């Protein structure tokens, strides 16, 4: 399911992170009782790949690190 990205919806995106070993982190994004955890860029690239990553960058205005 990796790569489901933006077209798959939030539920599938969360499931994609869970399937590559980031279940605790993904759960922290949707459970208000758990402090929100972050991921490294490499961890995000495990799930959101190729054009989905480019589209997400454009939609959020992210330009990377200098």
Question: How much of the chain, in percent, has pLDDT values that exceed 90?
Answer: 21
Is 17's pLDDT higher than 80?
A: yes
Could you tell me the two tokens for 25?
């982190």
pLDDT at residue number 55: 75
Considering only residues 38 and 63, tell me which one the structure prediction assigns the higher pLDDT: 38
40-63 tens-digit pLDDT: 888 888 887 766 777 777 777 776
Give the mean pLDDT of 19-42.
90
43, containing H or E segment: helix 41-45
Q: Mean pLDDT, the chain, as a whole number?
A: 78
Sequence spans of domains, the chain: 5-60
For residue 50, report the phi and psi dihedrals to the nearest 5 degrees: 55, -125
């Amino acid at each position: 399911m990796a790569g489901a990205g933006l077209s798959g919806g939030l539920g599938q995106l969360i499931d994609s992170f869970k399937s590559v070993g980031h279940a605790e982190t993904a759960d922290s994004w949707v459970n208000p009782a758990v402090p929100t955890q972050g991921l490294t860029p490499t961890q995000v690239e495990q799930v959101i790949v190729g054009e989905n990553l480019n589209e997400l960058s454009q939609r959020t205005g992210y330009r990377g690190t200098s």
